[in-house]
């Protein structure tokens, strides 16, 4: 097991001692104010508080603070004047995502909340913020696997449990807002942040994000849905690049998962994005942030910019002077558009609000609207009544990194692993098999994705650790090569280990970095601002796999990665192929659970695998008229067989969305619908009989896709509209029912009106987006 490096050392605490409070100055005059009365409606409380706020009070709510302004993140020294200065201008929220001992955060948060309550006139508590796509971003918290992996589980119950676990750990240190989940879609695989998404499909992404929010906010911690909206398909796959698309594509593809998370999930906050869509920067997109989000969706809470995003209006989009930055122009673009709060990382342009209001360029009603949205979230969350919910230091072990959370991480990871190939039933392995574990991702560090805390790679269960723990046979290890090198000098040792074993397990893939290392520019092949032109294995990893396979022993290849890998030859040449998207801290144990059959693999791909980067995009829900296919190929003996789409390749996926094998087999039969003539507002139920025809108990993800047979505009050929993960024992038959909301089957018609058009719809039920086992038709009158 990789050892854990503990951050910091003895805390040097200067200033106030534990338990000490600040002398109250003025807040008592408002102790009986209506906004302090939790029995009043939130709207009345907001109105009363807003009426008492000066313009500077209001602006302070609209700019993000940072705990490093009053806590030295190297020594923990307390800077009282830094706290005062921060809260004068940035009191609404503050960021705490630093790699420091847990209690430094808890103490720093307590000082800040105490100061706001006791030393400010109105006593408005702050939202305390950090990241959370892999879990609570602090040392020794539970590290879950990556979102792209979460979605492969198709298990919404586990995702909700994970959200609850993250809330419990966060709140234990006084953190009450998490920057997650993403509702972005993995539609451009060259893009570095694929690993942060829930995959390519709007419906699955919406369900995952919704479940995460319900778990997190059910634990009294605010979610932040990001990045609003249509961010993750940038030109050339380059992070923050422009995204091209029209209104219909926006509404058909990009907005549905956000609506599910934001409206149905009732998320307390949203983060806007860095990009432009159809030429309009998201940070200043009135149509998206106001017309749709507030006007159509009736969203009542607040939107924050991403870090430094407001400055991009000048320095990236060239919409205003960049040197010196035109703060007034930035503010006038972003705030009236509906971007309520300015995150740090930039120039804090919103400091110009008082001047703009005084000169009449900015209507104070715009400011009041933004402030009221943030206050509405705070009152609804109950943080005025419970501003600081951290537990004493001696109780954190009962809340953070508990055995229950660690077991949840292992279970979710295991259910997220996808079995791509299993030739000649190579898997599951026998417990007493002699195994050679090979590859640069097999040991020595944890292959987490981005947005984990600094030096997390020294904490967790590697593939070698997990296999050694599960095996009763001999386990040997050879690295074979380095991740970032073409050096093959380690091949002989790896080949010898494979020849001496009964089976080889080779772990290769992509790698990312924790947030500090990533922004230091250390090498990586995925992560924020790390985009690629190829989806092949890097350096010597591909030749290593080939060398081990050619050693002649059964070879199981494991892709440990943050995105699909395009090496089709591995699919045919290996004995078995497994996809484990960036794992949890229990990743090695989860992998061993699958390899040895303790966990029958049940993961299904949340993102399609192309044959080659040149065949992108590869998502399954292409519009009708797409994916003409007359493929070509290069055969194993290097014969060229020419096609037209493409000449020597195919636009079809190597592995499609929803694909994943099991150690058992499932037979589908008898698709029926609860009605064949529903109205446009009905919910119908599709039911199918599924029989486990193999010798292992197993879980199957039953997927329901809907085809709109005739439509007035070009629509996706099929769309996932429901799924259910069910455990079926060997020989058992289960009746699986999946509800389908007919109102969600509408199109944005030629006049850009949303309508469920009369006509036939086919419900296809199957094991993947391509492996459809049965269907039934209903007609909307």
Residue 513 included in any domain: yes
Decide if 136 contacts 142 (C-beta within 8 A). yes
Decide if 176 contacts 167 (C-beta within 8 A). no
Please give the pLDDT value at position 28: 54
439 with 546, same domain: the answer is: yes
| φ, ψ (nearest 5 deg) of residue 293 | -60, -45
Residue 699 included in any domain: yes
pLDDT band at 12 (very low <50, low <70, confident <90, very high): very low
pLDDT band at 7 (very low <50, low <70, confident <90, very high): very low
686 with 757, same domain: the answer is: yes
Please give the pLDDT value at position 30: 77
pLDDT digits (tens, 9 = 90+) for 591-638: 999 999 999 999 999 999 999 999 999 999 999 999 999 999 998 889
Instruction: Choose the final residue of a domain: 615, 630, 656.
Output: 615
Query: β-strand 418-422 against 747-748: which pairing, if any?
Result: unpaired
Query: How does the average pLDDT of the chain come out, rounded?
Result: 95
Decide if 228 contacts 303 (C-beta within 8 A). yes
Residue 114 included in any domain: no
Closest to 681 measured CA to CA, from 743, 738, 740: 743
Residue 740 included in any domain: yes
Taking residue 683's Cβ as centre, other Cβ atoms within 10 Å add up to 13
* pLDDT average, residue stretch 293-305: 98
Q: Which domain holds residue 506?
A: 409-615
pLDDT band at 515 (very low <50, low <70, confident <90, very high): confident
Please give the pLDDT value at position 29: 62
Distance CA 591, CA 600 (A): 11
503 with 424, same domain: the answer is: yes
Residue 489 included in any domain: yes
Domain count, the chain: 2
Asked if residue 691 has pLDDT above 80, the reply is: yes
Asked if residue 2 has pLDDT above 70, the reply is: no
513 with 605, same domain: the answer is: yes
pLDDT digits (tens, 9 = 90+) for 541-598: 999 999 999 999 999 999 999 999 999 999 999 999 999 999 999 999 999 999 999 9
508 with 596, same domain: the answer is: yes
Asked if residue 21 has pLDDT above 60, the reply is: no
Asked if residue 757 has pLDDT above 80, the reply is: yes
* The total number of residues written for the chain in this structure: 781
Residue 186 included in any domain: no
Asked if residue 87 has pLDDT above 90, the reply is: yes
Cis amide bond preceding 508, omega within 30: no
Domain harbouring 591, CATH code: 3.40.50.1700
Asked if residue 643 has pLDDT above 80, the reply is: yes
538 with 447, same domain: the answer is: yes
Residue 65 included in any domain: no
Instruction: Choose the final residue of a domain: 615, 649, 679.
Output: 615
609 with 747, same domain: the answer is: no
Domain harbouring 716, CATH code: 2.60.40.10
Distance CA 717, CA 707 (A): 6
Closest to 526 measured CA to CA, from 462, 577, 582, 588: 582
Q: How far is residue 61 from each of residues 119, 340, 361, 362, 502, measured CA to CA in Å?
A: 16, 10, 20, 17, 63
Decide if 495 contacts 149 (C-beta within 8 A). no
Asked if residue 380 has pLDDT above 60, the reply is: yes
pLDDT band at 708 (very low <50, low <70, confident <90, very high): very high
518 with 590, same domain: the answer is: yes
Distance CA 140, CA 145 (A): 15
433 with 532, same domain: the answer is: yes
Residue 173 included in any domain: no
Distance CA 706, CA 686 (A): 11
606 with 683, same domain: the answer is: no
Please give the pLDDT value at position 636: 84
Q: Is 334 helix (H, G, I), strand (E, B) or coil?
A: helix
Distance CA 735, CA 702 (A): 11
Distance CA 393, CA 140 (A): 14
Distance CA 360, CA 155 (A): 53
449 with 533, same domain: the answer is: yes
Report how far Cα 253 is from the mean position of its chain's Cα atoms. 17
Please give the pLDDT value at position 590: 99
Q: Name the DSSP letter for residue 708.
A: E
Q: Where do runs of H (alpha helix) occur along 218-326?
A: 247-249, 255-259, 286, 312-315
What would the 3-class secondary structure string for 106-143 be?
HHHHHHHHHHHHHHCCCCCCCEEEEECCCCCCCCCCCC
Report how far Cα 350 is from the mean position of its chain's Cα atoms. 29
Radius of gyration of the chain (CA): 27
* pLDDT average, residue stretch 375-395: 97
Dihedral over alpha carbons 638, 641, 642, 646 (to 10 degrees) = -80
Strands (E), 423-563: 435-438, 475-478, 503-509, 555-561
């Amino acid at each position: 097991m990789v050892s854990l490096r503990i951050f910091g050392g003895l805390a040097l605490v200067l200033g106030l001692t534990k338990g000490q409070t600040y002398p109250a100055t003025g807040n008592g005059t408002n102790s009986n104010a209506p906004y302090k009365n939790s029995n009043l409606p939130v709207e009345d409380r907001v109105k009363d508080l807003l009426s008492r706020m000066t313009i500077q009070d209001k602006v302070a709510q609209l700019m993000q603070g940072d705990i490093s302004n009053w806590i030295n993140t190297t020594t923990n020294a307390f800077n009282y004047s830094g706290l005062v200065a921060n809260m004068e201008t940035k009191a609404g929220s503050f960021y705490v995502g630093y790699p420091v001992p847990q209690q430094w955060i808890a103490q720093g948060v307590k000082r800040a909340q105490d100061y706001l309550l006791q030393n400010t006139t109105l006593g408005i508590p702050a939202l305390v913020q950090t990241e959370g796509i892999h879990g609570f971003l602090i040392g020794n918290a539970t590290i879950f696997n990556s979102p792209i992996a979460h979605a492969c589980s198709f298990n919404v119950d586990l995702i909700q449990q994970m959200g609850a676990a993250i809330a419990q750990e966060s709140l234990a240190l006084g953190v009450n807002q998490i920057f997650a989940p993403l509702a972005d879609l993995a539609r451009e695989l060259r893009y570095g942040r694929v690993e942060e998404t829930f995959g390519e499909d709007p419906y699955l992404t919406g369900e995952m994000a919704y479940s995460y929010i319900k778990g997190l906010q059910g634990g009294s911690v605010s979610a932040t849905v990001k990045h609003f909206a249509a961010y993750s398909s940038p030109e050339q796959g380059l992070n923050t690049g422009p995204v091209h698309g029209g209104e219909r594509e926006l509404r058909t593809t990009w907005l549905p998962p956000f609506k599910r998370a934001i409206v149905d999930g009732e998320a307390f906050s949203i983060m806007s994005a860095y990009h432009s869509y159809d030429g309009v920067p998201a940070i200043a997109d009135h149509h998206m942030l106001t017309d749709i989000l507030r006007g159509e969706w009736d969203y009542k809470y607040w939107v924050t910019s991403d870090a430094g995003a407001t400055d991009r209006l000048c320095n990236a989009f060239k919409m205003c002077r960049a040197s010196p930055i035109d703060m007034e122009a930035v503010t006038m673009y972003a705030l009236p558009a509906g971007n309520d709060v300015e995150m740090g990382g930039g120039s804090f342009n919103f400091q110009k609000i008082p001047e703009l209001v005084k000169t009449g360029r900015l209507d104070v009603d715009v400011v009041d609207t933004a402030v009221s949205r943030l206050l509405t979230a705070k009152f609804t969350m109950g943080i005025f009544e419970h501003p600081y919910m951290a537990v004493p230091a001696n109780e954190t072990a009962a809340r953070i990194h508990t055995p229950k959370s660690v077991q949840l991480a292992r279970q979710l990871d295991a259910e997220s692993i996808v079995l791509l190939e299993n030739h000649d039933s190579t898997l599951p392995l026998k417990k007493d098999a002699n195994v050679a574990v090979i590859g640069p991702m097999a040991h020595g560090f944890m292959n987490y994705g981005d947005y984990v805390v600094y030096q997390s790679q020294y904490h967790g269960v590697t593939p070698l650790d997990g296999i050694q723990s599960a095996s009763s046979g001999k386990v040997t290890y050879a690295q074979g090569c380095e991740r970032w090198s073409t050096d093959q000098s380690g091949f002989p040792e790896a080949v010898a280990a494979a020849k001496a074993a009964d089976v080889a397990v080779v772990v290769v893939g992509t790698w990312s970095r924790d947030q500090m290392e990533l922004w230091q520019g250390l090498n990586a092949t995925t992560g924020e601002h790390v985009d690629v032109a190829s989806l092949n294995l890097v350096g010597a990893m591909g030749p290593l796999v080939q060398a081990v396979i050619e050693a002649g022993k059964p070879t199981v290849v494991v892709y440990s990665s943050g995105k699909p890998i395009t090496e089709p030859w591995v699919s045919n040449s290996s004995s078995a192929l497994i996809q484990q998207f960036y794992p949890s801290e229990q990743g090695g144990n989860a992998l061993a659970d699958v390899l040895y059959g303790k966990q029958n693999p049940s993961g299904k791909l949340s993102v399609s695998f192309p044959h080659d980067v040149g065949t992108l995009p590869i998502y399954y829900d292409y519009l009708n008229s797409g994916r003409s296919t007359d493929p070509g190929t290069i055969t194993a003996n290097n014969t060229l067989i020419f096609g037209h789409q493409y000449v020597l390749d195919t636009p079809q996926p190597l592995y499609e969305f929803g694909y994943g094998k099991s150690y058992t087999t499932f037979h589908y039969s008898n698709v029926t619908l609860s009605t064949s003539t529903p109205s446009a507002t009905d919910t119908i139920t599709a039911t199918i009989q599924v029989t486990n025809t193999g010798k292992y108990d197993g879980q199957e993800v039953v997927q329901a896709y809907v085809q709109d047979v005739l439509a007035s505009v070009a629509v996706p050929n099929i769309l996932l509209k429901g799924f259910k993960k069910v455990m079926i024992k060997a020989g058992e038959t289960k009746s699986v029912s999946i509800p389908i909301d007919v109102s969600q089957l509408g199109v944005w018609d030629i006049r850009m009106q949303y309508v469920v058009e009369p006509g036939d719809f086919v419900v296809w039920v199957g094991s993947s987006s391509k492996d459809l086992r049965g269907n039934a038709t209903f007609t909307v009158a």
